Every structure is written in structure tokens, then in C-alpha cells.
A and B are shown apart, each in its own frame.
Chain A
Amino acid sequence: MTTFTINGKTVAVDLRAGTTLLDYLREHGFFSVKYGSDKGETGSDSVLVDGKSMNASLMLIHTLNGKNVETVESFAHGREVHPLQDTFIEEGAIQCGYCTPGMILAIESLARENELPSEEDVKDVLAGVYCRCTGYVKPVKAAMHYLIAKNGDTR
């Protein structure tokens, strides 16, 4: 039996060995976490595990005991969207949107661990999330706007 929390809710699961977190999440309706490749290169399978952006397709469910998993589903509360989501829309950082949840998680994990991230830091974390639509120009811009608004300044 493995016990962990997803978006604040504790779950206890007993699954066959080899089940990945991605399998589990998609089966349970957390559809913001997506398949992009088998080795996690695309990062469309990103989740936050204890605040850090990780590839759900590379995490076996039984290794998650006691961990705290977050997906983008937890970011908006009712009709209120997270400011990072809002900035992504405002800046035109979303095209097809397939990579968007992964990008938002990557930026959010950076924002939590680094108070004054630079544009280079943003590009570094986004390197783990492939986007074939935007060329990363507007996502990076959106991230910087969000971080500046949040922290008052960046490095």
C-alpha cells in the first residue's frame, strides 16, 4: 500500500508494480498530465512532487509514499485562476496548450525555490518542457512577467 497526497487529498493505492504516476493520474482524471514520450523528454507529463517539477512517466507509484503531488488542476480555485495561468493567457504564451501545464509547473517550482530567478533560470527549467508551437518566446516572457509581479524584481 502506498499513501500520498494529490492536490491536497490523501490517497492510498495498491497497484501492480510498474504502474507509473502518469498511468495512475490519467486513469483518475488528472488529464492535465499528458503523454509526450516514454522517457519524459517532452515534460508534458510534469507534476510537482514535494514542490519540484518531475516527470510522472518516470515515477513508479510505489516510490511515492508520503509524498505530496500537485498538478495544474489544483492551481485554479473555482473561477479564480492562478496569476501564472492568467499571465500565460494574457501574453499569448499558449498555442495548442499541450505543453502548458508542464510549463506552468516548471515555472511555479522555480518561483517557489528561487526568490530572484533570472531569465536564464527560466530558460533552464523550461528546457525540460518541449513546446513545438511557441518557440518559447512568449512563455519565457510570461514567466518573467509573473516572477517580476510576484517578487517585485528578478536578478
Chain B
Amino acid sequence: MKIVGQKTRRVDGLALAKGKPVFADDIPKKDFLYLKILHSPIAHGRIKSIDKSKAMAVNGIAAILTHEDFPIHYFTSAGQGYPEPSPRDTRIFDDTVRFVGDRVAVVAGESLEAVEKSVELIRVDYEELPAIFDVRESIDNKTIIHPGKDGFSFLHDAKRNISANIDEELGNVEAGLKESSHVFEGTYFTPYAQQASIEPHITLTWLDENDRLVIRTATQVPYHVRRIVGEVLNLPVGKIRVIKPRIGGGFGGKQEILNEEVCAAVTMATGKPCRLEYTREEEFYAARSRHPQYVTYKIGLMDDLSINAIDMEILQNSGGYGPHSLTVMSVTASKTLALYRSPNIRIRANSVYTNLPPAGAYRGYGAPQGFFALESLMDEISEELQVDPILLRKKNYYVEGEEVPIAKVLGEGRDGFPVILNTNGIEACIDRGRELIDWDILRKSEKTGIFRRGVGLATVAQASGIAGVDMGSVFMKMNEDGSFNLNVGATDLGTGSDTALAQIAAEVLDVSVDKIIVLSSDTDTTPFDTGAYASSTTYISGAAVKKVAEDILRQILEQGKLILGVNEAKIADNSVIADNGKSITYQDICTKSFYTDHQKQIQATASKISYDSPPPYNATFADVTVDTETGFVKVNKIVSITDSGQIINPQMSEGQAEGAIPQSLGMALSEFMIFDEKGRAINKNFEDYHIYTSIDMPEIVAEFVYTNEPTGPFGAKAVAEIPINGPAPAVANAIYNACGVRIRKLPITPEAVLTEFQKITDEG
């Protein structure tokens, strides 16, 4: 391979480096209306009345829309394929508010100042309702957050505040645990954490010259935006065009249909172009975040250390609405249970409503929560049994050729598809990482004094797209200079997928990457794609690109033979070369096909749906120093070794790991949302919600071990999400190794470490 497996300059690199106007907001906004949302100041209540008279009187205000302006229609903002496996519990505006930050009204005006002033002047009279803030008190609470919604699609039990439920068993867990020689149990908590893309949610809408609605938006799912906005506003999709320009990071947060339908509604109501951008503060309390979960594992082991039973329970906080509540839990279970073999498995999971902000999709999608629990417990087991944590793990991995039974029962809100492992590089990942982190020395080094250093490990899995659900499609045509237009529905959210797809096409066509002109994510000009989530783009859309390029190559050969008038020929050096020595270049084939010989446009389309979703694997090692006087944890180094099959672009793949690691370290050590007793978010800016900056970064080593996945394009598996799963549990395990403190609740604050450390020193 000449291009796949090599680094290449990003196809969008030049424009981005030059600061070209390529993001959603980077267009002139003459005549635009600026929009602001009025958010609920209370956590739970019914709107008795809304008085907009004073607000409308502000100079320059064009419209104020509230629940009174829309028919009752329930949808989900989850931004998933149809029918969505999330409860349809959301209205564009509702007469009930369910969290501080819920949408009450939208104000549109000629300037931001005018709407900011106007929003303050809307008088809303609320009947306050009791609110639920503790996820453990939600089930069977007297307060019902979504009354009257029984029977709504994918809403499990509205009367009991349960938005989603999973109850599955393979084998017999009770018997399996009974048979086991050792049984261990632990409950672990992960908090609300923010995607925190640097570009906030931003949507621009207008009517084009033919009165079609154009939505230019920072989204990961342009086709779902089109479908859902169409549904909510009762517009045929043919009247809507969604354009995703470059977007400033997504990480799942931009899978949500957060405000697109509101912005579009104002354009439809006023005929005017509109712009709605969230401030950073709104991003924190009114956008989406990671689902907080309590995860409990009970694991039974036999004398030979093989796992005999895994019993798993999840209690998940959906917040006020239930987007992604079923599927996030399902991923928590399916990804963690795809790592270690166990003949008996049970999952009992509930996602419940509370009056806190609704959570959504965030890189890893449930897997980081689950692996924090599982990989912490595996370490605790190895400690208890005094066995090497690496040995314990290696003893239990699924191996190549084995079937992973959990995949069959946990699909995307329906039965899934069986997974037979073709490739599993986990052991190679461990062996490489162990060397790079100095495991054997640091693990056993002296643990005394104020500063104590330790190392920890976590091994994790993910998937490559959603089997039987994700689909990508592409269109390609040839130009007479030997360049190719590649129009893909896939959505590059900053990951570099446009470049990876161009590399796949270039590899097949044996041309340089600059000959591939990528146009992505415009519902008018690019074919359907389910969107950028679930680590699907390289594996699914990449396979569609490979297919289309192979078709184009076949057509080039056919046209070449026709033009040369020969039966046998081959392709080499950008030419078709006949057995008799005659040859014709790509350029000449296309030019003659356009104008003179056997005229046709060389073009092709392809779609790809996969019933496989091979797991990538990763081993993450952390080297930390704990200050036992302050409880402060310093991460010295993270080593992240991933098996993503064949890597399409090593530089970009490294970048995926390097970027995921600080997100996970943030969840481990510093990032979480704090709410006051009224459910109001307290830390709503980057001073109070601390994400990693350049000076916080430890040394990072991100490498790959190569396997050759037969179902993936050129042997590729997914890469984007998996590196986020390991750092948090690896750090927790390293802290234990350093100073004997086991923390089961994220983030691991200095206070928590200190309190626990004091306890063991007191006991000791």
C-alpha cells in the first residue's frame, strides 16, 4: 500500500491553518435575526402563563415563540437513525419545564443586544413542582417527571420515571456465582462530564431563492437534522437542505438536535435568516453531557482465575429527558462484556429521569463509565487474590475466532448481530505498553514518603460502527485531468475523516491524495450517511469509498480497453496498458470519454451497511505521583496502545488518542458538573470547570499495534472513541498502586484521596 498507512496532509488543513471562513458562523449576516433562548430558572414546574408584551416592545424584536405557538408533537433530540431507540419525550417547547435550562421561549431580533434585553422581560408564571435531584430516589418517586407518557415509543415506564431498561441474561448468573470459588463486587460512579467542544452549538437558517429551508449547522448528523426538523416543523425533507461546514469539535455533543428545529421554526415563521448560538455558559447547563452512572459488577472466578459469572447493574441518570438513555447503557454493557469471556452474564439496567440537565452522546458513549468500573474491579480482584493484574486479564480475554455472545442480545434498541472476533491485538497492546511505561520497575518501586509513585493499567474495547444500523454512501465521478470528485455523506467533525476517506480512494485508484476532491455532508449534494458517531466513519463510510473507487477503476479499465480497441489490458502508472503495448492515460481516457470516444461520464455510487462491528482494543497505562500530604495526583505519563486494525493515517490516529486522553484525564481528576440544592449548575465556565490545558498535560505516548481486520477497508477497524476509555481507570489503579487508596467515584479529588489515605494510615 502506498497511501493507506502513511501520513498525508489533511485535505482541509490549508483552509484551517489560514483561518479561512469555513465554520458555520463564518458568513456575513446582513439581515439576520439573532436568536436567544429563554431557559427555565426552575428545575421542575408547569408554565401557567407567559406574558411577552414587554419583551415584544423592545426595539428590533421580530418574534417570540413559546409552547403556545406549536402543536403538541413529541420527538427525541437524540439525533439517531429512524426509528430512534430513544424515548420520544421532548417537545420543541413544552408547558412543563424539567430542568434548570429547559427551553421556555425563543426571542428573535435584529441585534444580540435587543434579544438579550427582551429575553429578560418575558414574564413567566410557573407552578413549581417537586424536583428529583438524586438518581437513587427517582424510581417510584411520588413525583413523576413525564406523566401521561406511557406507551411512548422506547419510553420504558413513565410512571416509575424509568426512561429505559435492560434486562438480559446469558447462561445462569446465580448458579454461576454459586459455583465460583471467589466472588467480588464493587459499585463505581461517574459524573456529568462535558464534551466541551471549543466551538459552541451554532445554527444558521434561511430560505433560499426557491424558498427552501437551508440549515447551516455544526452537526455530526446532517441527515438526521433534516429528518427531525422536517418532522417537528411538518416540512417535507425535500424542502430542507442541511449543510455541515467544518465544525469545531463534536465529541457526541453535536449529535444532538439541540436547537436546529428552533432556529428553523423562526425562519419559517418570519421568513428571515436566523442565527442561534449558545454561549459557553449555555453550553454547560443547557446542552448535553455524559450520562452519570452507578455501575455495579459482581464477578465470580474459578480457582484457575477464569471468570465464571458477571452480574452487572447500571443506574443511569437521564436528566429531564431521555435522549440516548437506552443506547448509552447498552454500550456500557456490550462494550465491557465483550472484553472478558464469561459463560454466565446478566445485565440489569435502568436509566431514570431526574430534574437535572439531560445527558447525551459523548465520545465513548457509555463505555468509559463501564470500563472505569470493570477495570477498577479487575485490579481490586488481582490485589485480593495476589495475582498479577496482567496475568488475570490475559487469562480471560476473548481470543480470535471466538464468538462474543453479548453482541447478539444488545443491539441498538433491538437484537444485535453476532460478533466473531477476527482480530484481537490486546495482548500485543499490553506487552508494548508495559515496556513503555516501565511497568516492571515502577509497579514494585518503593512506596514510601510524601510523594508516592505508582503505575496502573486498564484494558478496553469499543466497536466499529453499529452493526446493522450504520450506513454510509458515496458518489464519485472522474474529471478529465485525472482528478476525482468524492461526495460523501460522512461527517468530518475535526477528526480528519475527509482525509482518511480520500486516502482510501487514492489507494484504490493509485493516484495521489490531492487528486481526490472531497465534498462532504450536504444533504443536497452528498448521498445519505447515518452520521459521525459510534466510531463508524472509517469502517463504514471508508468501506463505501473503497467500493465506489473499485467501481470507478473498473470503468476506467473498460473505457481504456474500448478506446484502445483491445480485449486485454491492465492498469499501471495512471494508464491503461494493453498487452500489445498500446496505452492511454487516465486523463486521455476521461477526455475522450467526454468528447469523442464511447462517450460517457465515468461515475459510480456505493452504499455500505455492515453487520459486523469488529472491536478495536486498547491498553492504557498511567504513571502517577500522589502527594500524600495534599492528596494531589500528578499524572506523569500515559501510554496508550491501540489495536485498530490497519491504520489508515498514523499521524491522524495518534492525534485521536492524544486528544481523547486529556478528556478522560479530565473525567478522572477535574471535570464534573456541580449543582446547587435547586438543581442549578454552579460551574458554568472554564474557570470553574477545568479541562486540560497545555500545561496540565502529562507525557503522552500513543502507539498502535497492527492487525488485519478482514471485514474492514484495507483491514481497518475504528479508532476515534476507544482511547477515551482507558485513562480514567488506569489512573485510579495507579493511585492505588502508589499509595493504597482506592477511589470508586470520579472525579478523584485531592480531598477524596486525602480522606482515604488518612483512613489507611490510621488503620495501619
Spell out A's residues near B (CB within 8 Å): 26, 29, 31-39, 41-42, 44, 71-73, 75-76, 81, 85-86, 88-92, 94-101, 104, 122-124, 126-127, 129-140
Name the distance in Å between B657's Cβ and chain A's nearest Cβ: 8
Q: Considering the complex, which residues of chain B in the window 651-678 have a beta carbon less than 8 Å from any beta carbon of chain A? A: 651-652, 654-655, 658-663
Residue in chain B with minimal CB distance to A105: B19
A72 pairs with B277, CB closer than 8 A: no
Among A35, A36, A41, A123, the residue within 8 A (CB) of B694 is A123
A133 partner residues in chain B, CB cutoff 8 A: 249, 494, 655, 659
B281 pairs with A38, CB closer than 8 A: yes
Name the distance in Å between A53's Cβ and chain B's nearest Cβ: 14
Among A29, A96, A101, A130, the residue within 8 A (CB) of B686 is A130
Q: Is B391 an interface residue (CB 8 A)?
A: no
Roughly how many angstroms separate A29 CA and B28 CA in the complex, as a whole number?
A: 7
A98 pairs with B7, CB closer than 8 A: no
User: Given contacts A37-B685, A133-B655, A136-B694, is CB(A98)–CB(B199) below 8 Å?
Assistant: yes
Q: Is B247 an interface residue (CB 8 A)?
A: yes
A98 pairs with B23, CB closer than 8 A: yes
Among A29, A38, A44, A75, the residue within 8 A (CB) of B18 is A75
Interface centre among A71, A75, A132 (most CB of B within 10 A): A132
User: Given contacts A95-B495, A98-B249, is CB(A32)–CB(B19) below 8 Å?
Assistant: yes
B279 partner residues in chain A, CB cutoff 8 A: 37-38
Residue in chain B with minimal CB distance to A42: B198
Name the distance in Å between B506's Cβ and chain A's nearest Cβ: 17
Among A31, A89, A96, the residue within 8 A (CB) of B19 is A31
Number of residues from B at the complex interface, CB < 8 A? 58
Roughly how many angstroms separate A134 CA and B281 CA in the complex, as a whole number?
A: 23
B651 pairs with A96, CB closer than 8 A: no
Name the distance in Å between A123's Cβ and chain B's nearest Cβ: 4
B22 partner residues in chain A, CB cutoff 8 A: 97
B658 pairs with A94, CB closer than 8 A: no
Roughly how many angstroms separate A31 CA and B15 CA in the complex, as a whole number?
A: 12
18 A-B residue pairs with Cβ-Cβ distance under 8 Å, sorted by A, are A36-B200, A37-B279, A38-B279, A41-B687, A72-B19, A76-B17, A76-B18, A96-B199, A97-B13, A99-B198, A100-B17, A124-B694, A124-B695, A127-B694, A132-B196, A135-B700, A137-B655, A140-B694
B246 partner residues in chain A, CB cutoff 8 A: 96-97
Name the distance in Å between B320's Cβ and chain A's nearest Cβ: 25
Roughly how many angstroms separate A91 CA and B700 CA in the complex, as a whole number?
A: 16
Among A33, A39, A98, A140, the residue within 8 A (CB) of B248 is A98
B695 partner residues in chain A, CB cutoff 8 A: 123-124, 127
Q: When A and B form their complex, which 10 residue pairs have the shortest distance between CB atoms, in order from nearest?
A: A96-B494, A32-B19, A97-B16, A98-B248, A72-B19, A135-B658, A37-B280, A126-B694, A31-B26, A89-B13
Roughly how many angstroms separate A137 CA and B25 CA in the complex, as a whole number?
A: 28
Interface centre among A31, A38, A88, A101 (most CB of B within 10 A): A31
Name the distance in Å between A25's Cβ and chain B's nearest Cβ: 11
Name the distance in Å between A7's Cβ and chain B's nearest Cβ: 11
Roughly how many angstroms separate A127 CA and B692 CA in the complex, as a whole number?
A: 9
User: Given contacts A38-B280, A123-B695, A137-B697, is CB(A96)–CB(B10) below 8 Å?
Assistant: no
Interface centre among A81, A90, A134 (most CB of B within 10 A): A134
Among A29, A36, A92, the residue within 8 A (CB) of B7 is A92
Q: Considering the complex, which residues of chain B in the window 676-731 have a beta carbon less than 8 Å from any beta carbon of chain A? A: 685-687, 691-695, 697, 700, 702
Roughly how many angstroms separate A8 CA and B659 CA in the complex, as a whole number?
A: 36
User: Given contacts A95-B655, A130-B686, is CB(A135)–CB(B662) below 8 Å?
Assistant: yes
A91 partner residues in chain B, CB cutoff 8 A: 651
* Complex interface bits, B597-620 against A, C-beta within 8 A gives 1, otherwise 0: 000000000000000000000000
Residue in chain A with minimal CB distance to B200: A35
Name the distance in Å between B585's Cβ and chain A's nearest Cβ: 27
B686 pairs with A92, CB closer than 8 A: no
B19 pairs with A101, CB closer than 8 A: yes
Roughly how many angstroms separate A44 CA and B248 CA in the complex, as a whole number?
A: 11
A136 partner residues in chain B, CB cutoff 8 A: 662, 693-694, 697
B700 partner residues in chain A, CB cutoff 8 A: 135, 137
Interface centre among A92, A127, A130 (most CB of B within 10 A): A92
Q: Is B207 an interface residue (CB 8 A)?
A: no
Roughly how many angstroms separate A33 CA and B613 CA in the complex, as a whole number?
A: 40
B14 pairs with A36, CB closer than 8 A: no
A85 pairs with B17, CB closer than 8 A: yes
Roughly how many angstroms separate A85 CA and B9 CA in the complex, as a whole number?
A: 12
Name the distance in Å between A85's Cβ and chain B's nearest Cβ: 4
A134 pairs with B280, CB closer than 8 A: no
Among B18, B277, B694, the residue within 8 A (CB) of A81 is B18
B687 partner residues in chain A, CB cutoff 8 A: 39, 41
B654 partner residues in chain A, CB cutoff 8 A: 92, 137-138
A38 partner residues in chain B, CB cutoff 8 A: 279-281, 685
Q: Is B251 an interface residue (CB 8 A)?
A: yes
Q: Is B496 an interface residue (CB 8 A)?
A: yes
A95 partner residues in chain B, CB cutoff 8 A: 249, 494-496, 655, 659
Name the distance in Å between B227's Cβ and chain A's nearest Cβ: 25
A94 pairs with B652, CB closer than 8 A: no
B247 partner residues in chain A, CB cutoff 8 A: 96
B248 partner residues in chain A, CB cutoff 8 A: 34, 44, 96-99
A88 pairs with B659, CB closer than 8 A: no
A101 partner residues in chain B, CB cutoff 8 A: 19
B576 partner residues in chain A, CB cutoff 8 A: none
Roughly how many angstroms separate A42 CA and B495 CA in the complex, as a whole number?
A: 20
Q: Considering the complex, which residues of chain B in the window 193-207 have a beta carbon less than 8 Å from any beta carbon of chain A? A: 195-200
Q: Is B579 an interface residue (CB 8 A)?
A: no
B685 partner residues in chain A, CB cutoff 8 A: 37-39, 41
Name the distance in Å between A69's Cβ and chain B's nearest Cβ: 14
B691 pairs with A127, CB closer than 8 A: no
Roughly how many angstroms separate A35 CA and B692 CA in the complex, as a whole number?
A: 19
Roughly how many angstroms separate A95 CA and B651 CA in the complex, as a whole number?
A: 11
